[in-house]
Amino acid sequence: MVLVGKKAPVFKADAVINGGEFVENFSLEQFIGKKHVVFFFYPLDFTFVCPTEIIAFQEKLAEFEKRNVAVVGCSIDSKFSHWAWLNTELKDGGIKGVKFPLVSDLSKTISQNYDVLAGDFDYNEEGESVFIGAPVAYRGLFLIDKNGVVQHQLVNNLPLGRSIDEAIRMVDALQYFEENGEVCPANWHKGEKAMKATHEGVSEYLAKK
């Protein structure tokens, strides 16, 4: 399911914030009208690729914050698993020092609504409910604007880690368009020339490359 151009699915769920505080009814709606949001899913706590991504987001958190962007992670683990992982040292496989919120999608409904669940429930020949596939989230990432609309989405399979620099580049491109009305060409980076969304604008841009 492509969510780009649509309202981001709403939810209220348990989360852990500030590296160790439990909160109930955490929602992305708190950022409407205030911040852009990078909302990303990862498969599981205490795994291998996942901590590299989460720590990479933390290392770049100041870059997101100066752009007025909230970073929020989510997996199908419980809030207690999140808390334990957040309080485990890096040398022991933990992510201690991570401060952005981690949402608990224990029911898997958030992953389903964002269409990143790596499988689905079905019935076997005996009529029993079974899960087909992996009961975890793909590596989905959604850039949500201040109106709560998804402007960019990326979904990787489980073994494939994401580029945090690319997430920042997409934030820059969206904010540049919102502020200036010009569109951002391939491989555009903040500080570079953009272009008007016209045939003349494209021709002028290509001529100057």
Confidence tier at 70 by pLDDT (50, 70, 90): very high
CB atoms within 10 A of CB 187: 7
- Domain with residue 58: its CATH number is 3.40.30.10
Candidate list 13, 16, 37, 50, residue with the active-site label: 50
Residue 131 belongs to a domain: yes
Is the CB of residue 68 less than 8 Å from the CB of residue 37? Answer: no
Structure tokens at 15: 């989360």
HSE value, Cβ hemisphere, 13 Å, CA-based, for 17:
12
Number of separate domains in the chain: 2
Q: pLDDT, tens digit, for every residue of 33-64?
A: 999 999 999 999 999 999 999 999 999 999 99
Task: Note whether 69 and 147 are same-domain residues.
Answer: yes
Residue 179 belongs to a domain: yes
Confidence tier at 207 by pLDDT (50, 70, 90): confident
Sign of torsion, CA 159 83 91 167?
positive
Measured at the CA of 165, the angle between CA 100 and CA 13, to 5 degrees, comes to 30
Residue 81 belongs to a domain: yes
Task: Note whether 170 and 156 are same-domain residues.
Answer: no
Q: pLDDT, tens digit, for every residue of 123-153?
A: 988 889 888 999 999 999 999 999 999 999 9
Is the CB of residue 156 less than 8 Å from the CB of residue 53? Answer: no
Task: Note whether 201 and 101 are same-domain residues.
Answer: no
Tell me whether strands 36-41 and 139-144 are parallel, antiparallel or unpaired. Answer: antiparallel
Is the CB of residue 85 less than 8 Å from the CB of residue 46? Answer: yes
Is the CB of residue 33 less than 8 Å from the CB of residue 146? Answer: yes
Domain span at residue 29 reads 13-160
Cα–Cα distance measured from residue 200 to residue 23, given in angstroms and rounded to the nearest whole number: 52
Confidence tier at 1 by pLDDT (50, 70, 90): confident
Cα–Cα distance measured from residue 189 to residue 166, given in angstroms and rounded to the nearest whole number: 10
Residue 4 belongs to a domain: no
pTM: 0.94
Q: How high is the pLDDT of residue 86?
A: 98
Specify whether 50 is catalytic.
yes
For the cut 80, the answer to whether the pLDDT of residue 209 exceeds it is no
Average pLDDT over residues 68-74: 98
